[in-house]
């Protein structure tokens, strides 16, 4: 018995990981070089187990990336992009029941019109072409960071993002379910409430709840004086009261939160240890110079005993609005035919 098209869980085998080199000096300002160093550390860790498909905008940017990634398994693609948030601007790769991949492309409107670059609007089609896979476009706005899947029919999301009128005015939860079931193989959409404060994505779920195994969801336990304390407590409560598409009660696996992480002006940033990338050989966890950095890396490592877990300073990347999950998009490895 075969499956329908599905988005595999992130811990399933990858062929490659797609990312884009930080390049826009006018966006990153003094954080450009620190963001490149963090990106390179992430890239080298990911490349321990899978090929990196890296977008670069110019000859100079490619030279910069090559110098930072000497010896790593990287293929470079000269493709224009607005910024590096490929989780949201690249396609979501899905597995077909008869074998092969499809790049499912959603419309992108700059997180509700906040940061819209013309190159990002068409980027998903260009990545699909560079990956040499068939593509399928859905006529709705959706970012990859707005959902997190277990590969078995269940997806996490937040109402704050999914039902925000700045994405798809008039589209309700039932309508989303009708779109996402055939496109990504989602049979049950678990709707949490709000995301982190000062998150310009309007509450992407990949900063507050992540599937780490079938039936197991990593959640952040609030730190002392955590500004997101109430929202994180609600996430833990909601996960513990939910069943997945196969009828299993979800288990909340707790990871410490970083607490209040602020920028140079003292403004709260949406820092999350859950914005990690699960690679074939490594799990790359963002750190922020916070008291709970080591404890969080250890907690994530305990969830993935068959992988090396590494913490990488993500403060410079966070100044752009996200961390390592936000800047990556996995391309699954596909057997000739999927069997249930």
| 292: in domain | yes
On whether residue 108 sits in a domain, the answer given is: yes
Summarised one tens digit per residue, pLDDT across range 135-190 is 999 999 999 999 999 999 999 999 999 999 999 999 999 999 999 999 999 999 99
Residues 6+ apart with CB under 8 A from 197: 227, 228, 231, 268, 270
* Sequence-ordered strand ranges (E) for the chain: 14-20, 51-56, 74-78, 92-95, 101-107, 134-141, 148-149, 154-158, 188-192, 209-213, 216-221, 251-256, 277-278, 282-287, 308-313, 329-332
pLDDT-derived band at 260, boundaries 50, 70, 90: very high
For residue range 271-309, list pLDDT tens digits in order.
Answer: 999 999 999 999 999 999 999 999 999 999 999 999 999
Considering the domain boundaries, does residue 339 fall inside one? no
Tell me the pLDDT of the chain averaged across its residues.
96
What pLDDT does 1 receive? 28
In a domain, 4, yes or no: no
pLDDT at 4: 78
Please state whether 27 falls in left (phi above 0), alpha (psi between -120 and 50) or beta. alpha
Closest listed residue to residue 119, CA positions, set 71, 58, 209, 173: 58
pLDDT at 261 over 90: yes
Rounded Cα distance between 317 and 129, Å, is 27
Q: Which of 17, 161, 219, 326 is catalytic?
A: 326
Pairing verdict, β 188-192 and 154-158: parallel
Integer Cα distance of 21 and 37 in angstroms: 10
Name the DSSP class of 207: G
What is the spatial distance between Cα 13 and Cα 331, in angstroms, rounded to a whole number? 9
Region of poorest pLDDT, from 110-114, 193-197, 243-247, 332-336? 332-336
Measured at the CA of 312, the angle between CA 257 and CA 11, to 5 degrees, comes to 75
Task: Answer whether residue 215 is part of any domain.
Answer: yes
Let me know if 326 is a catalytic residue.
yes
Q: Is the pLDDT of residue 29 over 80?
A: yes
pLDDT score recorded for residue 2: 38
337 occurs within a structural domain: no
> Interior CA angle at 323 toward 319 and 328, to 5°?
130
Structure-block tokens of residue 241: 């009261």
* pLDDT computed for residue 337 by the predictor: 60
Instruction: Judge whether 256 lies within some domain.
Output: yes
251: CATH:
3.75.10.10
Burial class (CB in 10 A: 0-12, 13-18, 19+), 30: exposed
Residue found by looking up tokens 């790593």 in the block: 72
pLDDT in tens, 211-235: 999 999 999 999 889 999 999 999 9
Q: Residue 336 — pLDDT band, cuts 50, 70, 90?
A: low
Q: In this structure, is residue 338 part of a structural domain?
A: no
Residue 340 confidence class, pLDDT cut points 50, 70, 90: very low
pLDDT digits (tens, 9 = 90+) for 121-136: 999 999 999 999 999 9
Dist CA 36 CA 39 (whole Å): 5
* Number of domains forming the structure of the chain: 1
The pLDDT assigned to 55 comes to: 98
Give percent of the chain with pLDDT exceeding 70.
Answer: 98
What pLDDT is stored for residue 223 in this prediction?
86
Q: Domain range holding 207?
A: 14-332
Residues of the chain above pLDDT 90, percent: 95
pLDDT over 90 (residue 339): no
CA distance 254 to 104: 32
**What confidence score (pLDDT) does residue 98 get?**
86
pLDDT at residue number 3: 55
């Amino acid at each position: 018995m075969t499956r329908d098209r599905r988005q595999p869980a992130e811990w399933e085998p990858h062929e490659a990981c797609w990312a884009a080199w930080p390049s826009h000096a006018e966006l990153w300002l003094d954080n450009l070089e620190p963001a490149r160093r963090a990106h390179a550390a992430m890239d080298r860790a990911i490349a321990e187990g899978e090929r990196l498909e890296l977008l670069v905008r110019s000859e100079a940017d490619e030279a910069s990336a090559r110098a930072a990634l000497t010896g790593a398994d990287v293929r470079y693609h000269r493709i224009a992009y607005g910024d590096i948030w490929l989780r949201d601007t690249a396609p979501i790769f899905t597995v077909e029941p008869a074998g092969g991949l499809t790049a499912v492309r959603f419309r992108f409107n700059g997180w509700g019109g906040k940061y819209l670059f013309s190159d990002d609007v068409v980027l998903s089609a260009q990545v699909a072409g560079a990956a040499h896979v068939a593509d399928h476009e859905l006529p709705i706005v959706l970012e990859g960071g707005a959902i997190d899947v277990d590969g078995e029919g269940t997806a996490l999301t937040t109402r704050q993002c999914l039902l925000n009128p700045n994405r798809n005015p008039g589209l309700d939860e039932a309508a989303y379910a009708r779109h996402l079931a055939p496109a990504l193989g989602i049979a049950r959409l678990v709707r949490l409430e709000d995301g982190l404060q000062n998150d310009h994505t309007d509450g992407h779920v990949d900063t507050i709840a992540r599937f780490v195994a079938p039936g197991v969801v990593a959640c952040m336990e609030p730190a002392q004086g955590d500004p997101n304390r109430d929202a994180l407590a609600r996430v833990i409560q909601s996960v513990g009261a939910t069943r997945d598409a196969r009828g299993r009660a979800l288990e909340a696996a707790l990871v410490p939160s970083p607490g209040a992480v602020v920028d140079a002006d003292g403004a709260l940033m949406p820092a999350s240890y859950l914005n990690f990338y699960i690679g074939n050989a490594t799990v790359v966890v963002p750190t922020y110079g916070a008291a709970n950095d080591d404890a969080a890396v250890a907690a994530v490592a305990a969830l993935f005993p068959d992988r090396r877990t590494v913490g990488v300073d993500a403060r410079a990347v966070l100044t752009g609005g996200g961390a390592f999950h936000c800047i990556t998009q996995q391309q699954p490895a596909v057997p000739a035919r999927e069997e249930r």
